[in-house]
Structure formats: structure tokens, C-alpha cells
Amino acid sequence: MQAEYVIVGAGSAGCAIAYRLAEAGKTVIVIEHGGTDAGPLIQMPGALSYPMNMKRYDWGYMSEPEPGLGGRRLVTPRGKVLGGSSSINGMVYVRGHARDFDTWEEMGARGWAYADVLPYYKRMESWDCGGHGGDPDWRGKNGPLHISRGKRDNPLVKAFVEAGAQAGYPTTDDYNGEQQEGFGPYDATIHKGERWSAYKAYLKPALATGNVTLIRGLARKVVIEDGQAKGVEIERKGQIEVISASREVILSASSINSPKLLMLSGIGDAAHLKDHGIAVVADRPGVGQNLQDHLELYIQQAATQPVSLFKYWNLVGKAFVGAQWLFTKKGVGASNQFESAAFIRSKPGIEYPDIQYHFLPIAVRYDGQAAAEGHGFQAHVGPMRSKSRGAVTLRSADPSEAPKIFFNYMSQDSDWEDFRACIRLTREIFAQEAFAPYRGKEIQPGAAMQSDEELDGFIREHAESAFHPCGTCRMGEKDDPMAVVDPECRVIGIEGLRVADSSIFPQITNGNLNGPSIMTGEKAADHILGRAPLARENAQPWIAPNWQTAQR
């Protein structure tokens, strides 16, 4: 089995790369351990809590015990299915803030400033605001990735945005356009009532060209001879074989599996590799380091009117929603229910938003367990730019064994300060007049919890991952000892090997990471093909004029 390019991982970035290489007439083999994305639990947006909790679709990773969270081990879902995590995620589409990418460039990722990445966002998007306003000049119209908005007809969804305005925050018609900061509608990778994953957007049409072959197998390591990547060793149906690449190997296996594969291939911290009996091919101490994520809390309020989605939270209700979606692709099941967003600043002196909200018109846990109180609503809230850094390391040299994932959550004093601000700012929003017709008691944390110590205890016990791991194969200058790839995604010190997925992010971006991961694949494809990057667009984002002196 041989092709010009071998890609490991049919996820958000890998699918985009396969599509662009196929479009250019190149031969590509994509290696994916997971199977088909067929079935209503993945395709129905309203069923999003199921696939990420299913062994069939998820790698089943767990973090190490996290000291900052009282020793809890957190689930770390990563998609093991066609489409990767874009097939099991919450479908929320966020590009990231313009300043995130300008920061990347300052950190050594030359050519990845906002002006450089904006044209790639436009190239990948097919944006349909459905008549709900938005910022068309900033958006793409003809790309493979369909972006849409929910109907937003639940009164709680509207109340959240109104409450934000009443609390003195700006509103924004399109947080993916000129102005991220403020309260407004969410974008989602949903098309005609179905999940629109990277598999559907990119890999399915790429396979149809005949230039791309999909192989199901577990990638064991990159085969490297004389400092050059020659192929990928995989296990398939109990047999070990090598898939050869005449030009390049591209790892798009996630921020957990890409560093794991590099280390298994002899690329990583020399001492760590020797500990596991792995011959060192390239001493890159940054491999697996710089692990970042978003943590969030669910602030829950009881509702005094039966307006929440709880009315469907029974056997009959779920059957109705499922049947309606199956036959019409409409109704509650056709939305991920994250229809109102907010990005705000936690305090004066912060230039651009550092807190994100997902509003949900039901009080429920991510694993789909409803709050005992019945009708309610909640805000998922968390800081965007924690200074805590963790690492992905090998547990053993056995490719079938899960790596060690240690996020080192809440290890900085600023993390605690930021989370307390999140709770108090959310309470203030929920206390606004817009929620008056619906507001019952505070379910979680509960009105009795007020002091810093009480809130810290709640955070320690209840903070959950937003499932946005990144940063473990950081992009930077060639002479940066902790950089793993250069700004063209080439692994430093090895010929013919690239990494392109969320692992190369120098710093985590604002919001959900699926959008930036697909953009990374789009931009990497041009580097792989040796093309000049798309022309820069010097569109300036809106920054609050009073940011130095005011929080809102």
C-alpha cells in the first residue's frame, strides 16, 4: 500500500487536508482507527451527549488524577470514528478571536496571524445565517463546511441575550465576524438538520475523486529512515504492515495521539524515550508538553415556568423528538440547543474576551443526566486563557496503550480568581429583569455559597473539561528548543513529516476548537502542496474602546 501522502487521522484537520490534496490530483491514503459515522446518535444534533460517551466512537481516554480538582480524573473524549471529534462534539463553531492568532505569530508561528488565517476561514465556510442577521463580509459563502444557526425560538434563549444587554454588555450579531465580544446567537456545524462533520464536508467528497483511499487500522509509529519519514506502521486485522508515503507523512491524530505517535517513533524528549526503551531519532523535548484545555462550570437555575427542554426529558418526549427528526430533520432534535453565546472580559485591563458562555435551556449534565429539580436553564461558563500547562507522556512503548494525560488544571492562582469571577458574573446576568418571569432558585452552586472558600470548593468538585485539548506539538521558530513543528507544520529535524491538528496551537484559542482545527488543515494543505498562502486580509476586529478601564 503506497501513496504520495499518508495522513494519520480522519478528523477535523486530516479530512480537510485529504480534500485539498485530492483536489490537486495527489494520491492520498488516510489511516483511521475508528469506523463509520452512520446512525442517528451521531447525525441528530440533539443527541450530542451520546456519541462522546460511547466506546464505539470514542478513544475512552481519562486524565491522570488532577490535584487542582481534588484528585478527580476527568474524561477526555477524542473521536474514534470517521470525522474524528467533529463527529462527536457539540457542533459549536467558533473561529477564535483575531488576537488569538496575532498572539500565535508573536509566539513564533510566523504567517499565522489573523490576517493570514482569515482567508482560510472564508475558503472553508459555507455560511447560512438563515435570515438571522450576521456579518456576511467577514464570512465564506462557498466552502465545504456548512455553518448555520438554530431557530432560537425558546424564550430562555432570547432572555439570556437580553439579560446580557441589561447587565451592560454589548450584543453582537456575529461573534465570528468583526465583533466577538458580547451576547448573541451561536453558529453550528449543522446542515439541513444534521451534523455536518469534517467527514461529510471533506473526506466523503475526497473519497469520491478516487485519489483518496481510506484504511482502517491502528497507527503504531512513523517509519523513519536516515532522518526521513517513509511511511506508517499500522496494525490491521491482527497483522502489522507498513503504509508507504513517497512524499510525506502527515499526523492529524489529535492533540493526544499525535504526540504519542511522535514519541513512539523516537521523536520527543530523549530521556523520556530512553525510559521506555525507544531509540531516539530526534530529541524534541517539546513533544507532549504545553497541553492546554478549557475548563467550565455549569451554573444552573430552576425555572418557574415549563418553558425549558425538560418537557422532552422522558421516554415519550424523547420518542417524539427522535421521530420528528427522523422523518422531517426538524424540531428540537435538529439543533444542538446551544443557540445563545456570550464572550465577555472578566475585568478591566483585558483587551479581548477571556470568558465564554454556552447557554442551554435545560438544567442537565454533559453526560445527559437531567437535574432533579425538573425545569431549569444553565450557563456553561469558563475562562479562555488559563496559564496552567500539562503534558501528554507515554505510559509504555506499547502502541495500544493509552498515554498519560495530565492537564495540571487549576495550578495557577489566576485560575481560581478567574473562575470565581465567572460564577459571580453569571449570577449577576441571571438576576437581570429578562429572567424575572422564569427565575426560580439557584440549583448550582446554590445561593448559600458566597465566600471565596465556598466557591473554590464548588469549583474543585464541579469544574468539567470543555473537551478542548491542544498545544502538545507546538508550532514555533526552528531554533526554539520547545517547538515541535515550524510554521509550515514540518516536524523540526525530520524530513517528510508534518503535524497538522490542534496539537500545533502555541496557545489555546477563544471558544471551541473544531473551527481552528479545520482551518489548520486547510492552511497546512497549501504548505504541503508548496503553494503560496492565500493573500492576507487586514480586517481589524472590534476591540472595546474602554477595555483598559472598564470590564464592560
Cα–Cα distances in Å, from 63 out to 57, 127, 146, 269, 460?
18, 36, 33, 21, 15
Beta bridge partners of 381: 297, 357
Q: How far apart are CA 9 and CA 15, in angstroms?
A: 8
**The residue to which cell 454588555 is assigned:** 169
Q: Please give the span between the terminal C-alpha atoms of the chain, in angstroms, as a whole number.
A: 58
Per-residue pLDDT, 371: 65
Domain 1-132+193-292+469-545, CATH 3.50.50.60 — does that match? yes
Neighbours of 23 (CB within 10 A): 15
In the prediction, which pLDDT does 132 show?
A: 67
Instruction: Give the pLDDT of residue 134.
Output: 81
What's the confidence (pLDDT) of residue 128? 78
Angular region, 226: left φ>0, alpha ψ -120 to 50, beta rest: left
pLDDT tens for the 552 residues of the chain, in order: 999 999 999 999 999 999 999 999 999 999 999 999 999 999 999 999 899 889 999 999 999 999 999 999 999 999 999 999 999 999 999 999 999 999 999 999 999 999 999 999 999 999 977 666 788 889 999 999 999 999 999 999 999 999 999 999 999 999 999 999 999 999 999 999 999 999 999 999 999 999 999 999 999 999 999 999 999 999 999 999 999 999 999 999 999 999 999 999 999 999 999 999 999 999 999 999 999 999 999 999 999 999 999 999 889 999 999 999 999 999 999 999 999 999 999 999 999 999 999 999 999 876 666 666 789 999 999 999 999 999 999 999 999 999 999 999 999 999 999 999 999 999 999 999 999 999 999 999 999 999 999 999 999 999 999 999 999 999 999 999 999 999 999 999 999 999 999 999 999 999 999 999 999 999 999 999 999 999 999 999 999 999 999 999
Per the structure block, which three cell numbers stand in for 368? Answer: 445527559
Q: Going by DSSP bridges, is the β-strand pair 295-303/340-344 parallel, antiparallel, or unpaired?
A: unpaired
* Residue 272: closest CA among 256, 291, 257, 289: 289
Return the active site residues. 468
Residues of the chain with CATH 3.30.410.40: 151-185+295-383+411-462
Please determine, looking at this structure, whether the domain spanning 151-185+295-383+411-462 carries the CATH number 3.40.50.300. Answer: no
CB atoms within 10 A of CB 123: 18
Read off φ and ψ for residue 361, nearest 5 degrees: -80, 45
Q: Supply 267's cell numbers.
A: 521523536
Compute the half-sphere exposure of residue 321: CA atoms within 13 Å on the CB side of its CA.
Answer: 22
Apex 513 CA angle, 414 and 232, nearest 5: 120
Residues in binding site for FAD: 81, 89-92
Q: Is 456 exposed, middle or buried (0-12, 13-18, 19+ CB in 10 A)?
A: middle
The pLDDT, as a whole number, for residue 225 is 98
Contact assessment for residue 111 and residue 150, using Cβ atoms and an 8 Å cutoff: no
Give the CA-trace dihedral at 72, 89, 501, 243, to 10 degrees. 100
CA distance 291 to 466: 14
Confidence (pTM): 0.98
pLDDT of res. 367: 64
pLDDT at res. 372 = 66
Q: What are phi and psi of 122, to 5 degrees?
A: -65, -40
Burial of 546 per CB tally in 10 Å (0-12, 13-18, 19+): exposed
- Where in the sequence of the chain do the CATH 3.50.50.60 domains occur? 1-132+193-292+469-545
